[in-house]
Amino acid sequence: MKRHYPQVFKKHPKLQITHPFLFKLDTFLNPQPKYIVLLPLMTTQFADVILPLSLPKNYTYRVPRHLTNALTVGQRVLVPLGKRRFYAGLVYKIHENAPENYTAKYIEAVLDEYPIITNKQLKFWEWIASYYMSNLGEVYTAALPSGFRLDSETKVVLNPSSPLDTAKCTDHEILIIDALEMREVLSLQDVSDILDIKTVFPVLNRLVQKGLILTKEELSERYKPKTCDVVYAAIDFNNEALVKNAFEKLQRAHKQEELLMHFLKESSAFDSTIKGVVKSELLQGANASLASLKSLVDKGILRIETEAVSRLKTVEEKANQGVSLSEDQDAAYQAISTSFEHKKPALLHGVTGSGKTEVYIKLIEDSLKQGKQVLYLLPEIALTSQIIHRLQRYFGNQVAVFHSRFNQNERVEVWQRLAGGKDDSTFKIILGARSALFMPFTNLGLVIVDEEHESTFKQFDPAPRYQARDASIVLAKMHNANIVLGSATPSIESYQNALQNKYTLVELTKRFSGVQLPEIRIANMAEAQKKEAIRENLSPQLFQAIEETLAKGEQVILFQNRRGFSPFVQCNTCGWTPECNHCDITLTYHKYKHLLICHYCGYKADMPKQCSACGSSDLELKGIGTEMVEESLSLLFPDATVARMDLDTTSGKNAHENLIERFENKQVNILVGTQMVTKGLDFDNVGLVGVISADQLLQFPHFRAHERAYQLISQVAGRAGRQAKRGLVIVQAYKPDHHILKMVQHNDYLAMFKQQLEERSTFDYPPHKRMIMVQLKDKDALKCAKGAYFLSELLRKKLGYRVLGPEKPVVGRINNYYIQQILIKLEPKLDLHKVKEFIDLCIIDTKSNSSFRSIRINPDVDPQ
């Protein structure tokens, strides 16, 4: 930092410097002070602060005098915004340039002793914001656990300096004043209870303007440490006299004496190291009452302290078993290690059951040996206890899990323990879903992206719409870390990158310990239908296979990618179908709740008894949902226990784990489920996997539909036959000759890849072209369409034929917002940054048109 010394002191001949900042003076000031302390010249500092809001740029605040030179980039600060709001902003830049067009407000306070975000993280945030056409505020919101944000509560009090004059007050205002005379402080919640109206602010504002009341903001950190009462010795138990004295006091209090003895045993107080004992454990262990403990405290023998404790479960540390790799696995491991030496990402293409995890474990070990951190990314649904336990078995408490089931307090603690740095209790491995990318890594050595093809690595709403797999490549580069992407069915993009030598391709083609890949049969549903041989949606082949599998005492997994009982209801007389009131989508019938539910907005309606259009009572449930499959199976196989795994059955806190446990313990014979059954689950007694309706996956109108169908069916097929026996997979389809099904059947990934790549090239899709999708949403359908057209024309001015649309998407309205989409296909060699800037300008241009101002316009880079 530059220090400015006033010239006069520097040059004065009688100045004696006794200390860099302390100057002894002889004569030249009058009256003469003995010393003058010279501080560096105070300059006014300003800080650019990231706020957790979607703002086009950072806001500048003034650094108060007492914080000058004390603020660091990455610290959170309390800043005011607007008239009464406060936010926990993040210091992004410190400078001395006063803003020209406004007077900056002051930073209110510093919230962190040390920065909570490293410079590397900020660099990463910048990349995300710029690449995905987002802004730092949105990245900040996505990156930081909300436990780091502030809770602000507005409270209302009477203005003590103002005489109470209710003469000119409205009824509402008098109600508030009366309430304030009864109770001194009211929260906004209290006020809205009194007024019984939604808009409380106008009333309060008038009272504030009249000077009758004051409002104050109470701010608190959202994160609260979990506390625990710990009992300590209040006297020195090595001092015989004191101990004697203490026990004398307890002569008639046997309970207390017992409790004390128990405490001494537990705390080993006679040793030199005195430990505390957790209060609840002490009381339970000694079978004593709180009263006994209280009297011991009152007598000055024990004391209780409230301490912060971790919420994170510790696992029993097991000896590092070390993995032994098969020959194939070892070859893969070697190939990946070599790739790392050249600082090249690796793509591990290994069929299900080939033991990718062992290879990962070996790589993690290497990284840990170098004292580096590891990030292991998985899609949310694959983050099951199975994989978590597996890693914890090898790495014990070094593994931290970070998934959506964690509450905000727990997330903050994971964050803190990772950022903690050197001591041994810190985490070294983060296992998490896409948002784990934003963890405060200080020394990242390895990134693993497992199931890299999964579309859930792409965040869709809200912004930043980032693809965690792609972003993790950038993150790894920033940390100079190694990265491996893994999948049994790699995405077309990644495989293409590998073939183009951007990644090192490493393949594991055989299943671990020689287990055979399952046999896949396609059941022709059209033919079965002709013969009227379909029973409750099951082809004769699948029905027979289930029967046989159950008879062998093996388990069955059935996959149907639709929850609920029936995806739509239709009138057989006129064809009418009940739709959501807020979305352009048919309502799904849920038999368990006996309701029609919208899967987009959650709207619920009663099941109609008659057709709303023609009055006919001939309503039919159409399509197949998991509930229906579950029910059919219970009917067809009354002796089997059937369970269902989908969003509806796994919403409870431990429901998901319990279901898996029941299946693992063979309490369940048949498991019916959505995508959830396809990932992260390894069971060793599954003899049969059935895909109820493959057509549905193949017909989905999306350029990735075939790729995804291949991936999904292959993945679920991989659940069959783990140990000794070869598993069987039956895929039901009305179009059994579909080329994708043939490819699945022959496990011919390469054929699928080549065919898809060609199709993508023909129709200008990634990886041949890059895409940016601009989505427009408005409550007014016409306005939305007009705005979309206006924007598309602006875009076409420079981008021409690359701009497609606007077009209404498959679901044209969600939650009463009409949607239009403009798709931009770009040659990879274009300067993407410039294109994005241009798109931004066009969006701003559209927004500046007053008739389009209310339209929400969201660019989505690399849409899924």
Partner DNA sequence: AGCACGCCGACT
Partner DNA sequence: GTCGGCGTGCTC
The distance of closest approach from Cβ of residue 138 to DNA in the complex, given in angstroms and rounded to an integer, is 8
Q: Which residues between 842 and 861 bind DNA (CB under 7 A)?
A: 850, 853-854
* Smallest distance, DNA to C-beta of residue 196, A: 9
What's the DSSP call for residue 274?
A: P
Question: Which tokens belong to 57?
Answer: 């740029």
H helix or E strand, kind and range, residue 258: helix 254-267
- Shortest distance in whole angstroms from residue 194 CB to DNA: 12
Does residue number 55 form part of the binding site for DNA (CB under 7 A)?
A: yes
In this structure, the dihedral spanned by the alpha carbons of residues 57, 58, 59 and 65, taken in order and rounded to 10 degrees, is -160
* 50 vs 729, beta carbon nearer DNA: 50
Q: Which is nearer to DNA, 62 or 403 (CB)?
A: 62
Query: What is the rounded CA–CA span in Å between residue 494 and residue 501?
Result: 11
Q: Which is nearer to DNA, 171 or 248 (CB)?
A: 171
* Residue whose pair of structure tokens reads 């169908």 in the numeric block: 709
Check if the beta carbon of residue 596 is closer than 8 Å to that of residue 604.
yes
CA distances from 633 to 209, 535, 554, 627, 683 (A): 68, 10, 16, 10, 21
Q: How far is the CB of 202 from DNA (least distance, A)?
A: 6
Measured from the CB of residue 90, what is the shortest distance to DNA in angstroms?
14
Do the Cβ atoms of 57 and 14 come closer than 8 Å?
Answer: no
Report 57-86 residues binding DNA (CB under 7 A): 59-62, 80-85
Interaction mask 288-317, DNA, x per CB under 7 A = ------------------------------
Compare residues 149 and 768 and give the one whose CB is closer to DNA: 149
Asked if 702 is part of the footprint of DNA (rule: CB under 7 A), the reply reads no
Tokens of 713: 């069916």
Between CA 410 and CA 311 the distance in angstroms is 6
Both tokens assigned to 623: 């399509």
148 binds DNA per the rule CB under 7 A: no
Q: Which is nearer to DNA, 174 or 261 (CB)?
A: 174
User: Which window, 126-134, 164-172, 330-338, 519-527, contacts DNA (CB under 7 A)?
Assistant: 164-172
Closest contact distance (angstroms) between CB of 213 and DNA is 13
Which one of the spans 170-178, 295-303, 494-502, 750-758 is the region binding DNA (CB under 7 A)?
170-178
Which of the ranges 96-104, 155-163, 564-572, 824-832 carries the binding residues for DNA, by CB under 7 A? 96-104
Whole-angstrom distance, CA of residue 760 vs CA of residue 741: 19
Look at residues 464, 412, 406, 465 and name the one whose alpha carbon lies nearest to residue 439: 412
Query: How far apart are alpha carbons 784 and 800 in whole angstroms?
Result: 21
- Catalogue the E-assigned strands of 222-301: 226-233, 277-278
216 binds DNA (CB under 7 A): no
Nearer to DNA, 428 or 777 (CB): 777
Give 514's DSSP letter.
G
To DNA, the closest distance from the beta carbon of 98 in angstroms equals 10
Pairing mode, strands 429-432 and 373-377: parallel
Residues 399-458 that bind DNA (CB under 7 A): none
Q: Give the interface size with DNA as a residue count (CB under 7 A).
A: 31
Amino acid at 513: S
Q: Cβ 172 to DNA, closest distance in Å? A: 5
- CA 603 to CA 200: how far, in whole Å? 28
Nearest one of 203, 280, 270, 190 to 233, comparing CA atoms: 270
Q: If binding is defined by CB under 7 A, does position 114 make contact with DNA?
A: no
Asked if 575 touches DNA (CB under 7 A), the answer is no
Show contacts with DNA in window 639-658 (CB under 7 A).
none
By CB under 7 A, the residues from 179 to 198 that bind DNA are: 197-198
Of 154 and 864, nearer to DNA (C-beta) is: 154
What sign does the CA torsion over 101, 106, 111, 113 have?
Answer: positive
Q: Which is nearer to DNA, 82 or 701 (CB)?
A: 82
Strands (E), 381-498: 399-402, 429-432, 444-450, 482-487
Smaller CB distance to DNA: residue 404 or 851? Answer: 851
Minimum distance from CB of 409 to DNA (Å)? Answer: 20
**Using the rule CB under 7 A, which residue among 34, 102, 160, 163 binds DNA?**
102
Closest by CA to 143, choosing from 483, 464, 400, 477, is 464
Task: Give the separation between CA 454 and CA 675, rounded to whole angstroms.
Answer: 11
Alpha-carbon gap, residue 144 to 130, rounded angstroms: 18
Question: With respect to DNA, which residue has the nearer C-beta, 263 or 852?
Answer: 852
Q: Which residues pair with 152 in a beta bridge?
A: 219
**Nearest to residue 807, comparing CAs of 829, 840, 775?**
775
Question: Cα torsion for 27, 28, 29, 34, to the nearest 10°?
Answer: -40
Question: Could you tell me the smallest distance in angstroms from the CB atom of residue 81 to DNA?
Answer: 4
**Among 40, 99, 211, 371, which residue sits at the site for DNA (rule: CB under 7 A)?**
99
Nearest approach in angstroms of CB 334 to DNA is: 49
Pick one of 40, 202, 300, 421: the residue that binds DNA (CB under 7 A): 202
Among 9, 12, 15, 54, binds DNA (CB under 7 A): 54
CB count within 10 Å of CB 174 equals 12
Residue 325 touches DNA, criterion: CB under 7 A: no
Closest distance of CB 458 from DNA, Å? 20
C-beta of 175 vs 325, nearer to DNA? 175
149 contributes a contact to DNA by CB under 7 A: no
Read off the DSSP letter of residue 599: T
Q: Does 392 bind DNA (CB under 7 A)?
A: no
Question: Is residue 115 within 8 Å of residue 75, measured between CB atoms?
Answer: yes
Nearer to DNA, 12 or 856 (CB): 856
Which range binds DNA by CB under 7 A, 2-10, 200-208, 222-230, 453-461? 200-208
Residue 80 or 767 with smaller CB distance to DNA: 80
Among 215, 280, 268, smallest CA distance to 238 is for 268
User: Which one of the spans 47-55, 346-354, 527-535, 654-662 is the region binding DNA (CB under 7 A)?
Assistant: 47-55
Please give the backbone phi and psi of residue 229, each rounded to the nearest 5 degrees, phi first.
Answer: -85, 130
- Maximal C-alpha separation, the chain: 116
Burial 455-469 (b: 16+ CB within 10 A, else e): ebbbbeeebbbbbbb
The whole-angstrom separation of Cα 569 and Cα 557 is: 27
Beta carbon of residue 60, minimum distance to DNA (angstroms, whole number):
4
Interface with DNA includes 170 (CB under 7 A)? yes
d(CA 486, CA 357): 9
Stretch 576-635 residues interacting with DNA (CB under 7 A): none
**190 or 266, CB closer to DNA?**
190
Part in contact with DNA (CB under 7 A); list of ranges 1-9, 51-59, 284-292, 486-494: 51-59
201 forms part of the interface with DNA (CB under 7 A): yes
- List of residues contacting DNA (CB under 7 A): 53-55, 59-62, 80-85, 99, 102, 104-105, 154, 170-172, 197-199, 201-203, 205, 850, 853-854
